[in-house]
Amino acid sequence: MTAVPAGQDGSKTILIIEDEPDIVRGLSDALAFEGYRAVAASTAAEGLAIAREQAPACVLLDLMLPDENGYRVCEELRQIDHAVPIIMLTAKTQEVDKVRGFEVGADDYVTKPFSVAELIARIGATFRRQERLTGGDESFQIGRWTIDARHRHMTSGRTKKQLTFYELEMLRLLRERGGEPVSREELLDRIWGEEAAPTSRTVDNFVVKLRRKLEEDHKNPQHILTVYGQGYKLEP
Ligand code: CA
């Protein structure tokens, strides 16, 4: 994983791809106050160009941009940098598409109107997770997959799939338990932490996604197992 890019004064660059000037202004001010270097783009094309040139440490991505669908932009950002944290800014009516957001490689999302303080907290949380990840360079095996925690991907033969921060954190936590079940509450608490407020359905959605990635037959899982009334456990 590449080092977190910094501005000339050592501050991390946060790219805001958002076409609503009020949101950009509010976010830029708050990020500058927190010691980040904020760079804004009002179109997808401009945002992707900046992502290529400046390698931001984090991207805040509006889903409704004038020139391109945010999901598509997210996929393109992932091609530019497989590890940069991407936080989607979604309108309330798009809530049903959160799972799709994670599928195209977003790490987190906030729903408009969001609190700037909450978003700042989530940016900090993504950096802390990233630091934890770059701190260890372990890889481990689940079934036919080799999980590379440092580069956040899983490989089997020639097949390679990316993992989001949350997916990897979930696998690590389940793995730490050595086959003991972990409750949804603990997964929520340990992975998402106090800065987010997802529901236990979030955990279940993640497990569904992880199974689709990991299992030969996601409807008949062999690795991520449901323990009735207790939670989930991992059978590597
Ligand atoms: Ca918009």
The predicted pLDDT at position 177 comes to: 85
The predicted pLDDT at position 198 comes to: 63
Boundaries of domain holding 184: 139-234
Q: How far is the CA of 117 from the centre of ligand 1 (A)?
A: 20
Q: How far is the CA of 104 from the centre of ligand 1 (A)?
A: 18
The predicted pLDDT at position 38 comes to: 96
The predicted pLDDT at position 1 comes to: 33
Last residue of a domain, one of 132, 160, 187: 132
Are residues 88 and 176 both part of a single domain? no
The string of pLDDT tens digits covering residues 169-186 is: 888 889 888 889 999 888
Are residues 214 and 229 both part of a single domain? yes
* Rounded distance between C-alpha atoms, residue 180 and residue 166, angstroms: 20
Tell me, yes or no, whether 210 lies in a domain.
yes
Last residue of a domain, one of 132, 156, 172: 132
The predicted pLDDT at position 220 comes to: 95
Q: How far is the CA of 89 from the centre of ligand 1 (A)?
A: 9
Are residues 98 and 19 both part of a single domain? yes
Helix (H, G, I), strand (E, B) or coil at 142: strand
**Inter-helix orientation angle 165-176/116-135, to 10°:** 60
The predicted pLDDT at position 193 comes to: 65
Residues in the 5 Å CB sphere of ion ligand 1: 19, 62, 64
Are residues 122 and 225 both part of a single domain? no
The predicted pLDDT at position 137 comes to: 55
The CATH number linked to 89 is 3.40.50.2300
Do residues 76 and 17 make contact, with C-beta atoms less than 8 angstroms apart? no
Q: How far is the CA of 176 from the centre of ligand 1 (A)?
A: 41
Instruction: Using 50 as the pLDDT threshold, list the residues of the chain that sit under it.
Output: 1-5, 7-8
The token pair at 90 is 């979604």
Count of structural domains, the chain: 2
The predicted pLDDT at position 134 comes to: 54
Is residue 13 classed exposed, middle or buried when 0-12, 13-18 and 19+ CB atoms within 10 A define those classes?
Answer: buried
Locus of tokens 């984090």: 58
Exposure string (b/e) for 81-113, b if CB count within 10 Å is 16 or more? bbbbbbbbbbeeebeebbeebbbbbbbbbbeee
Sequence-separated (6 or more) residues with CB below 8 Å from residue 48: 73, 76, 77, 80
Q: How far is the CA of 14 from the centre of ligand 1 (A)?
A: 18
Last residue of a domain, one of 132, 161, 194: 132
The CATH number linked to 147 is 1.10.10.10
